[in-house]
Structure 1
């Protein structure tokens, strides 16, 4: 059923992109003086998000695996917005050491983070391992962002009202969390199976974090599907130049693909919501069972804490309802 729904949603997404019927963020909210961190800000949706938020007065910390590519992105953004307040720090989400070094660098430069956009990711890679031995897509897309978020949580809690935005995918519809073989070893690996698991993990992470933070928190969490977007994310999917041209004609531009991220970052109507999933700038309540499985979200959280060796004082206790 989940694969069927994924296929239907994917076709719907491509139709929406091809016909130009994608919704846009309508919020006029300013972010003057607020600190925003965006992972993977050197290209695609992340770069466009950084540009759009710079126009609203945010102090944007761009995290990129390649400093050279990050500097190119900064130059481009400042060419479009000369007043952009941008800072660039190196971050490789496939290395927990790099994640910790990045978080330390952030803490040395600011005492408050208002918005964290967990945007970076890899898709449909060959079977590879992170620096710490985890399967590449799960390790990068989920574990790297999990550790980053938890390390930055004290700074997020220093904000009067903070948001954590996880860029997931419609691919979560076909996902399953393989707790007994989270790295999909011993022949269990396939590129899309791994990707779907990691994107489901993004959704469950936002949901579980919202529950653990509780209703009185000043930190809200969101997950989202940006749409079928023509970015470098699909570089491992094949197709060559012809495939790239087809994607360019049928998929959303990064500017349109950033709209649901902007909606979750900015929209005042979401001030009282936390832990939900959004697509095309709208909340999705008809979720597949795997995406609202509270027992699995708790188990995934506990496994993630162990895998990244999270310091006990940074962990959040489970709620009785979990």
Structure 2
């Protein structure tokens, strides 16, 4: 039985993937902040005859305390991981700050993936063919890292924050082998394209309605996207890092995956004020 941890595991693609894996006999640790979503996931797993293979871990991954609670919770429930899937994200039209004073999209979409990815490598290295699958936006809409204002205190828009999160994740994946030389764990960045999820829910009413109409016509179902995700978990590329937009493999030689920029983002991440987390020697960012 393989063991997988999925952030954002109670909604959308995360839920669809978790149920697919559990139905086929794997064990799933679903991490999310909503208790109601967790209960609904467990109910669906029981209905599918897989209730004993799904655990729900409640954690607010937009806060440093929540990230560390997630690390501890996974360790309490598993002594190895075959896969770690990052799917937690939320579109925020208006800038919000977390309890740690961080811009919320940056904290959830990028920082939590850095903390958990680096912090669980030892469990992954015990897996059969371990992989980190980061559902982000490689090869998608343009955007950039705002190096002089990572917290977007000036000129915030929801799209700017989302695109910066995608570019930060490109660099996070590109930098992974430098932080874990010789690791067996493969890092896969994956852009699923247009999928019917709840991402449009926080939008103003006109945009929300338009997005939902377009999704009915153009978007794939979460279940269809989950099938592609499962294939990558089962057979990740041999290279330490790879990136895909749907089924198209992306060239990692471009500026989006620049090693120097990746190292620079890692250094800036290490310098963030993560008070309330573990001691500096134990932090995994």
User: TM-score scaled to structure 2, two decimals?
Assistant: 0.89
Q: What residue number does 1:220 align with?
A: 186
Task: State the 1:302 CA deviation.
Answer: 1.4
Q: Specify which structure has the higher proportion of helix.
A: 1
Counterparts of 1:236 and 1:109, CA distance in 2: 33
Alpha-carbon distance between aligned partners in 1 of 2:166 and 2:227, rounded to the nearest angstrom = 19
CA deviation map 1:231-256 (0-9, x unaligned): 00122333344542332222111112
For residue 60 of structure 2, the aligned residue among 86, 92, 111 is 92
**Quick check: 2:140–2:191 contact (8 Å CA) kept in 1?**
no
Superposition pairs for residues 269-284 of structure 1, below 5 Å?
Answer: 270=237, 272-284=238-250
**3-state SS of 1:122 partner:** coil
Any idea what SS the aligned residue of 1:182 has?
Answer: coil
Question: Could you say if the C-alpha distance between residues 308 and 143 of structure 1 is closer, same or farther in structure 2, counting changes exceeding 3 Å?
Answer: farther
Contact 2:103 2:151 in 1 (8 A): yes
Aligned residue in 1 for 2:267? 302
The corresponding residue for 2:165 is 198
Q: Does 1:129 align with 2:97?
A: yes
Aligned CA RMSD, in angstroms, stands at 2.2
Match of 1:72 among 21, 40, 51: 40
Q: Report the Cα distance in structure 1 between the residues aligned to 2:160 and 2:111, rounded to whole angstroms.
A: 17
- Structure 2 Cα separation of the partners of residues 161 and 243 of structure 1: 38
Matches of 1:47 and 1:96, distance apart in 2:
24
**Residue segments in structure 1 that go unaligned for 5+ positions in a row:** 1-32, 317-322
8 A contact 1:171–1:196 mirrored in 2: no
Identify if the C-alpha distance between structure 1 residues 257 and 274 changes in structure 2 by more than 3 Å, giving closer, same or farther: same
The answer (yes or no) to whether the contact 1:157–1:219 under 8 Å persists in 2 is yes
Q: 1:242 to 1:294 in 2, by over 3 A?
A: closer
Deviation digits for residues 48-82 of structure 1, max 9, x if unmatched?
11011113321100111112211102212332344
Gaps of 5+ in 2: none
Distance 1:218 1:286 in 2: 19
2:76 aligned to which of 99, 102, 108:
108
TM-score, structure 1 as length reference: 0.80
Shift >6 Å, 4+ stretches: none
Change (3 A) 1:114 1:308: farther
* Partner Cα separation in structure 2 for residue 38 and residue 138 of structure 1: 19
